[in-house]
Chain A
Amino acid sequence: MKNEDLIAKLKTIVQPYVQDEDAFKNLSEETTFVGDLKINSANLVDIILDVEDEFDIRIENEEMEQMLSVKAAMAIVNSKITS
């Protein structure tokens, strides 16, 4: 999958939980979910489940630990859908 397509899908997934709209508008690979988008940590699991469903993958708890930025989420999704 192209990076732009992947980012677009991630944007759709995180949007319902975003609390900083400016950071969302300027979303890049470096954007962090909690620090930048001000997503409540209670919703991180919802995002991870939505990512699992969207890409039909399963993310282990050890992998979830690092899934705190757009870049990290992209790396995990890419490793799962190409393998």
Chain B
Amino acid sequence: MIGNDIVDIELAKRNSRWQEQRYLDKLFTTEEQEFIRSGDQQFQNIWRLWTMKESVYKITSRAEGTIRFNPTNFKCTVLDATQGKIIYKNQSIATSTIINQNFVQTTASSNPQWVSKIFQFSSLDYPTQHSESVQQAIKAYAAYKKVVDTSVAVIKNRTGIPQFYIYGQLQTEQLSLTHHGLYGAFAISVIES
């Protein structure tokens, strides 16, 4: 299972109440808030932990088939500058985070074999961004499977999860898409399960 999440730093700065204690209390445990306040990167630390939780949430909500908003149940451990893990209901799921001045992006996967790509959109329009994300994923997946791009389709299943098809046949590799502000990413779990 795979999940990913991206946060556009500029958008998060102006479109969020992240500086308030009430905000932190709704998302983060006491230990996580200690990590956030350690060092001088409080803002980046918030979004690092948030994208870790959200990417793992995408995995567990798909497995459970239910949606809920329970971020404090996803306990973050930061291992080094990029690697981390989330403990959720006795499961441990590894996370990998990329941080730069434009975005914070995390991929979480229960399978260590995955590929991911981050891209910048040409527009802020939601449908345009969705279709650009899907095109990026199709291109990468077609190259990996050594088939032509036009044979690949991405179709959401009835619970809204995007899945790959080749010539109309459902494939086993899993896909996760994310976007926020000007940035988006896909992650593909590449071992057939």
Q: How large is the interface on A (under 10, 10 to 19, 20 to 34, 35 or more residues)?
A: 20 to 34
Interface core residue of A19, A34, A42, A67 (most chain B CB under 10 Å): A42
B68 touches A66 (CB 8 A): yes
Question: Cβ of A6 < 8 Å from any Cβ of B?
Answer: no
Question: Cβ of B69 < 8 Å from any Cβ of A?
Answer: yes
Q: Which residues of A contact B16 (CB under 8 A)?
A: 42-43, 46
Interface core residue of B20, B67, B68, B72 (most chain A CB under 10 Å): B67
Closest to B57 in A: A41
Q: Which residues of A contact B15 (CB under 8 A)?
A: 16-17, 43, 46
B7 touches A42 (CB 8 A): yes
Question: Cβ of B142 < 8 Å from any Cβ of A?
Answer: no
Closest to B58 in A: A41
A residues sitting closer than 8 Å to B (CB atoms) are 16-17, 19-20, 34-35, 38, 40-46, 48-49, 52, 61, 64-68
